[in-house]
Chain A
Amino acid sequence: MSEDQPSPVGRGWPAVGALQPVSRRGRVRGHLHAIKHAGKWAVVVLACSLFAASVIRADRSRKPTLESIGDQVMCLCGCMATLNHCPHRDCATVAEIRPIIEKEIAEGKDETAILQDLAIRYGVQMLAAPPASGFNLTAWILPGVGLLVGLSLVVVIARRWRKPTPVAPGVPPKPLDPKLLAAVEEEMKASGMGTGG
């Protein structure tokens, strides 16, 4: 496109003539801004990924053991502990349920199937965590929703609180008194405040 031809100027597009070569400092600033911006989003993505990874159901197709199932079901004797941790010696409930679990493991069922069978037999309250279906799904979703809503609020509040970026200064700022500056630096060193704080 030669300088004589009209430029595709529209809203948001600078006129060709307005484009100036970017200085090296400007390029560095631009990169830093991009890194900071990317860094912020990286934190958000990391936070959400960590949380999502945690609430995504564990791979239940792995081979179940009495131990792994026993940690996910409650003992119904009233001890309010999981099957593996019932404090009662010779607990009748533990004695009844363990053979059932062992039989189902021997039949080759996976964790999900075994837990479902136990829930059908003894009730949903037997599971140490609510199943992720129906209304019970809200148990799993709401903490994550709360986290994201909280994050959104923080971002909104932080943006509303942001000082506007100053426009090009009309008057250059007064230089600081060198004696005052030296005294401040001395005080900071003495209190070990020369770092991030």
Chain B
Amino acid sequence: MNQLGSVGLVAALAFAAYAVVAGVVGGKLRSLRVVRSAERATLAFFAMVTVAVVALEYLILTNDFHNAYVAEHSNRDLLTFYKVAALWAGQEGSLLFWTWLLAIYSGLAVLLNRKKNRQLMPYVVAVLMGTGVFFSSLVLFVANPFQELSLASPAGVQPFTPPDGNGLNPLLQYHSMVIHPPMLYLGYVGMVVPFAFAMAALITRQLGDNWIRTTRRWTMVPWMLLGLGILLGGNWAYAVLGWGGYWGWDPVENASLLPWLSGTAFLHSVMIQEKRGMLKVWNVVLVITTFFLSIFGTFLTRSGIVSSVHAFAQSNIGPFFAVFLAIIVFFSLTLLFLRLDHLKSENKLDSLVSRESGFLFNNWILLALVFAVLWGTLFPLISKAVQNVSVTVGAPFFNKTAIPMGLLLLFLTGAGPLLAWRKTSFQSLKRNFLAPLIIAGASGAILLIAGVRLFYAWMTLVLSIFVGVCILGEFWKGARTRMKTAGENFAQALYNLTLRNTRRYGGYVVHLGIVLLFIGFAGLAFKTEAKGLMQEGDLLRVKSYLLRCDGLITGDTPNYEYTRALITVTKNGHAFTSMHPEKRFYKASQQPTSYVSIHPTLSEDLYVVLAGLDQDTGKAVIEVFVNPLVMWVWIGGVVVFLGTLLALVPSRVEREMAEIRRAQEVAVQASDAI
């Protein structure tokens, strides 16, 4: 199976290299036959990488510890569910997984464009497979997951098979951690497709509406999945790491946020190009930036140049990524520069109080955030290079710089959609903003009276209310108009209104999700902690909760040993819940980890950690956190996800326009053939 996997990789590399050459040659010569062969080579690349992935999974699932990767990241007693996830637990396997996702995206791009974008596809394939050449080369020659263990002996080097493996990192043995890397990689990798379409559009000078429409859709999917991956990572950190938080501004966390932020900027500014034919150069820059940041994030995680709890061990793949990044920048910016004449704006700005300028300001904040986070993440390296001093840039820095920008962005989330295209009249401003401002202002006063005095938390909640009212007002006004004109009831009106313009109302749902996320973030300011040594019968009070320890039990599973605390909780004197935090010791890897017990509600989470046993007294060290509003973070993330799905559904008008465009393309192809 090791040999089969290696052969799969070699064949994949060969097909990718052929596809690059055939794509470019076919595009230059306008040879349909050569272009189709490039596309078939792309599908063959997918098939061969799949062979390699299946081979590695087979080795993992059959406990073939002769394979070095399997021995490092799996063991006999690991649950099957986690064995499957071991594919992306280590450097080599996760690179192979990255390559496989690239192959899937490339295959989908080819299959979904067999009858459209024909002039672009040769170069789309070339760019996709150029990336495929890089990653498959990396996996084959630098980080190969099919290496076999051997032992030096007097008789020479002998194959070696240990009786068991080291097991999966205990921190990865959690359900959301299983899904988190695939979602993140689907986000990172997916950004290559819009980049490929952008490059193809520049090469072929097909810089009209078509490429931007295609690119927008191909960006939304990875953007959505990347966001979901970030959320799942936060959920994992919250449930497993035991410090009561879900975002630590770790360099690898930041690296995942950067392409999501620039992707968000693109998804907004692309609307200006579609509606008004403006910001063409900027949109190309954003597509390039997003792809660059995706690869850069991968580079940061894997090169070991930054210290992070998430990073893989230091390896030698950093220089290869650096070269690839340099090639991306050089190639894409050169192409952009050469095509500037084709990217002239078709319209002018009618007014600074318009949706166009709203999007400009939105992009300003998002890119400023990208810069601030990137600067903070790289500052330790810069400091070391410039002044030979190691510094740490942690949460206090990022909270101070990112929070104010985040609040500005939150304001624009509500204000932007209420501005009209081209020009917003004063009457329109008054009509749209008066009620939200009054309600937000009144809410702000109530919050102050209720004791919310921390500035950022207060401002976050006030702005959230403002934005929420703005967005819900849009749904209400639209549905009410439809009720009057179409005679529908409210539910029907809302349903039909949404389906008629899924992009717009799906976008509003996404904005609502962002509001819920910010409400959840505001809760961090009101966290309460308590800690105590407890044995059977001991009590610990935190806020309105009284925790009673009912004892400790120990146990043994094939995978780990555990100590579990039995805690009964009353709230305001009434029975509330029972909680069972655990401390586990994983046998194969010889590592301890906490299994936090969480009782979530909409208003606050009760979060209990068994930190360990006190050496002097033998009592359990119990840490308790009361975390307000955390549930809204997860709910907000789900709402963002659902809103994006809704925005991806073609509305009736879009379907009709797509039919017309398809008919036009067929006619053009037919006349070309003649």
Are the chains A and B members of one assembly?
yes
Asked if A129 CB lies within 8 Å of chain B CBs, one says yes
Asked if B594 CB lies within 8 Å of chain A CBs, one says yes
Main DSSP-derived SS at the A contact region:
helix
Asked if A151 CB lies within 8 Å of chain B CBs, one says yes
Asked if B372 CB lies within 8 Å of chain A CBs, one says yes
Main DSSP-derived SS at the B contact region:
helix
Q: Of A3-11, A75-83, A96-104, which stretch is located at the interface?
A: A75-83
**B197-231: which residues lie under 8 A (CB-CB) from chain A?**
none
Asked if B615 CB lies within 8 Å of chain A CBs, one says yes
Expressed in whole angstroms, the Cα–Cα distance for A161 and B243 within the complex equals 50
Chain A proximity mask over B338-364: 1 for CB below 8 Å, otherwise 0 = 000000010011101101010011011
A50 to B408, Cβ gap below 8 A? yes
A163 to B350, Cβ gap below 8 A? yes
**A109-128: which residues lie under 8 A (CB-CB) from chain B?**
123-128
B243 to A190, Cβ gap below 8 A? no
Asked if A12 CB lies within 8 Å of chain B CBs, one says no
Residue in B242, B245, B348, B352 with the greatest tally of chain A CB atoms within 10 Å: B352
B432 to A196, Cβ gap below 8 A? yes
B345 to A161, Cβ gap below 8 A? yes
Asked if A139 CB lies within 8 Å of chain B CBs, one says yes
Asked if A172 CB lies within 8 Å of chain B CBs, one says no
**Which of A47, A71, A125 is close to B390, meaning CB atoms less than 8 Å apart?**
A125
B395 to A190, Cβ gap below 8 A? no
**Which of A32, A47, A87, A154 is close to B426, meaning CB atoms less than 8 Å apart?**
A32
Expressed in whole angstroms, the Cα–Cα distance for A151 and B405 within the complex equals 12
In the complex, chain B residues whose CB is within 8 Å of the CB of A193: 478
A80 to B308, Cβ gap below 8 A? yes
A54 to B391, Cβ gap below 8 A? no
Asked if B417 CB lies within 8 Å of chain A CBs, one says yes
B485 to A189, Cβ gap below 8 A? yes
In the complex, chain B residues whose CB is within 8 Å of the CB of A84: 243
**B475-503: which residues lie under 8 A (CB-CB) from chain A?**
477-479, 481-482, 484-486, 497, 500-501
- Please give me the residue from chain A that is nearest to B479 by CB atom: A192
Asked if B335 CB lies within 8 Å of chain A CBs, one says no
Expressed in whole angstroms, the Cα–Cα distance for A127 and B395 within the complex equals 11
**A46-96: which residues lie under 8 A (CB-CB) from chain B?**
47, 50-51, 53-55, 67, 71-72, 74, 79-82, 84-85, 87, 89-90
A50 to B243, Cβ gap below 8 A? no
- Tell me the smallest distance from the CB of A37 to a CB of chain B, in Å: 10
B308 to A191, Cβ gap below 8 A? no
The tally of CB-CB contacts under 8 A between chains A and B is 180
> Chain B contact residues (Cβ within 8 angstroms of A): what range?
35 or more
Expressed in whole angstroms, the Cα–Cα distance for A196 and B436 within the complex equals 14
Asked if B674 CB lies within 8 Å of chain A CBs, one says no
- Tell me the smallest distance from the CB of A178 to a CB of chain B, in Å: 19
- Please give me the residue from chain A that is nearest to B368 by CB atom: A147
Q: Of B98-106, B142-150, B179-187, B381-389, which stretch is located at the interface?
A: B381-389
- Tell me the smallest distance from the CB of A62 to a CB of chain B, in Å: 14
B389 to A143, Cβ gap below 8 A? no
In the complex, chain B residues whose CB is within 8 Å of the CB of A2: none
- Please give me the residue from chain A that is nearest to B611 by CB atom: A89
B375 to A142, Cβ gap below 8 A? yes
In the complex, chain B residues whose CB is within 8 Å of the CB of A50: 404, 407-408
In the complex, chain B residues whose CB is within 8 Å of the CB of A136: 383, 391
A130 to B497, Cβ gap below 8 A? no
- Tell me the smallest distance from the CB of A53 to a CB of chain B, in Å: 7
In the complex, chain B residues whose CB is within 8 Å of the CB of A87: 241-243, 594
In the complex, chain A residues whose CB is within 8 Å of the CB of B81: none
**Which of B348, B387, B403, B486 is close to A161, meaning CB atoms less than 8 Å apart?**
B348
- Please give me the residue from chain A that is nearest to B480 by CB atom: A192
In the complex, chain A residues whose CB is within 8 Å of the CB of B387: 134-135
- Tell me the smallest distance from the CB of A19 to a CB of chain B, in Å: 27
Asked if A175 CB lies within 8 Å of chain B CBs, one says no
Expressed in whole angstroms, the Cα–Cα distance for A163 and B276 within the complex equals 13
- Please give me the residue from chain B that is nearest to A157 by CB atom: B360
B390 to A162, Cβ gap below 8 A? no
In the complex, chain B residues whose CB is within 8 Å of the CB of A108: none
Asked if B173 CB lies within 8 Å of chain A CBs, one says no
- What is B's interface to A at a CB cutoff of 8 Å? 241-243, 245, 248, 250, 278, 307-309, 345, 348-350, 352-353, 355, 357, 360-361, 363-364, 367-368, 371-372, 375-376, 379, 383, 386-387, 389-397, 400-401, 403-405, 407-408, 417-421, 424, 426, 428, 431-432, 455, 474, 477-479, 481-482, 484-486, 497, 500-501, 504, 529, 592, 594, 611-612, 615, 621
* 5 cross-chain CB contacts under 8 A: A84-B243, A136-B391, A153-B364, A190-B482, A192-B481
Beyond A134-B387, A197-B474: 14 further Cβ-contacts under 8 Å?
A51-B404, A54-B400, A54-B401, A55-B401, A135-B386, A143-B371, A143-B375, A161-B348, A190-B482, A191-B497, A192-B481, A192-B501, A196-B420, A197-B418
